[in-house]
Chain A
Amino acid sequence: MADADRKLSNGTGRIDFATDPSRYRHWKLSVEGDVATLSMDVDENAPLFEGYQLKLNSYDLGVDIELADVLERLRFEHPQVRVVLLRSGKPRVFCAGANIRMLAGATHGHKVNFCKFTNETRNAIEDASAFSGQRMICVVEGSCAGGGYELALAADHIILTDDGSSTVSLPELPLLAVLPGTGGLTRVTDKRKVRRDHADVFCTTEEGVKGKRAVEWRLVDEVVPNTRLDDVVKERAQEFAGKSDRPKDAKGISLSPLKRTRSADGVEYSSVSVELSRAERIATITLRGPDAPPPKSADEMGAQGAEFWPLRLARELDDAILDIRLNEFDTAVIVFKSEGDPEAVLAYDRFLQANASHWLAREIVLKWKRVLKRVDLTSRSLVTLIEPGSCFAGTLAELVFAADRSYMLIGRMDGDNRPPAAIMLGETNTGTLPMSNGLSRLATRFLGEPDSLERARKALGQKLDAERAAELGLVTFALDDIDWEDEIRVFFEERASFSPDGLTGLEANLRFGGPETMETKIFARLTAWQNWIFQRPNAVGEEGALRRYGTGQKAVFDTKRV
Chain B
Amino acid sequence: MDIINVDYREKIPNNVNLTEDRRVLKALEGWHPGYLDWWNDMGPEGFQESLVYLRTAVSVDPKGWAKFDYIKMPEYRWGILLAPPEENRKIPFGVHLGDPVWQEVPGEYRAMLRRLVVIQGDTEPASVEQQRHLGKTAPSLYDLRNLFQINVEEGRHLWAMVYLLHKYFGRDGRDEADDMLRRRSGSKDAPRMLGAFNEATPDWLSLFMFTFFTDRDGKMQLESLAQSGFDPLSRTCRFMLTEEAHHMFVGETGIGRVVQRTCEAMKAAGIEDPNAIDKVRALGVIDLPTIQKKLNLHYTLSLDLFGSEVSTNAANAFNASLKGRFRETSIDDDHKLENDIYPVLKFVDGAIKLVDEPALTAVNMRLRDDYTRDCAKGIERFNKIIERLGVDFRLALPHVAFHRDIGEFKDVQATPSGVLIDEATWAREKDKWLPSLADGEFIASLMKPVSEPGKFAAWIAPPKVGIDNRPGNFEYVKIAA
Contacts and interface: CB of A to CB of B under 8 A. Distances in A.
Say if A and B assemble together. yes
B95 A164 contact: no
B361 A550 contact: yes
A165 interface: yes
Given A552-B319, A554-B319, A162 B360 contact: no
A164 B315 contact: no
A208 to B, nearest CB: 10
Interface string A547-560: 00111111000000
Interface in A178-233: 205-207, 225-227
A162 B182 CA distance: 11
A551 B111 contact: no
Given A205-B111, A207-B115, A551 B315 contact: yes
A5 to B, nearest CB: 22
B183 interface: yes
Interface string B352-364: 0000001011010
Interface residues of B, number: 25
B315 A207 contact: no
B78 to A, nearest CB: 22
A206 B312 CA distance: 14
Contacts of A553: 95, 315, 319, 338, 360
B140 to A, nearest CB: 37
Interface in B314-354: 314-316, 318-320, 337-338
Contacts of A174: 111
Contacts of A227: 188-189
B364 to A, nearest CB: 11
B191 interface: yes
Contacts of B183: 163-165
A549 B111 CA distance: 17
Contacts, number: 54
A174 B319 CA distance: 16
B193 interface: yes
Nearest to A225: B189
B358 A226 contact: no
Contacts of B320: 554
B179 interface: yes
Contacts of A164: 179, 182-183, 190
B193 to A, nearest CB: 6
Interface in A522-552: 549-552
Nearest to A174: B111
B167 to A, nearest CB: 20
A552 B312 contact: yes
Nearest to B179: A164
B316 A226 contact: no
Contact of B111 (A163, A207, A226): A207
A162 B312 CA distance: 27
Interface string B140-170: 0000000000000000000000000000000
Given A227-B188, A552-B316, A552-B363, 14 more contacts: A163-B190, A205-B111, A207-B115, A226-B189, A550-B315, A550-B361, A552-B312, A552-B314, A552-B360, A552-B361, A553-B315, A553-B360, A554-B95, A554-B319
Interface of B: 95, 111-112, 115, 179, 182-183, 188-191, 193, 312, 314-316, 318-320, 337-338, 358, 360-361, 363
18 contacts: A162-B190, A163-B183, A163-B191, A164-B182, A164-B183, A165-B190, A205-B111, A226-B190, A551-B312, A551-B358, A552-B312, A552-B315, A552-B337, A552-B361, A552-B363, A553-B315, A553-B338, A554-B95
| 5 tightest Cβ-Cβ pairs between the two chains A and B | A552-B315, A552-B360, A225-B189, A164-B190, A552-B319
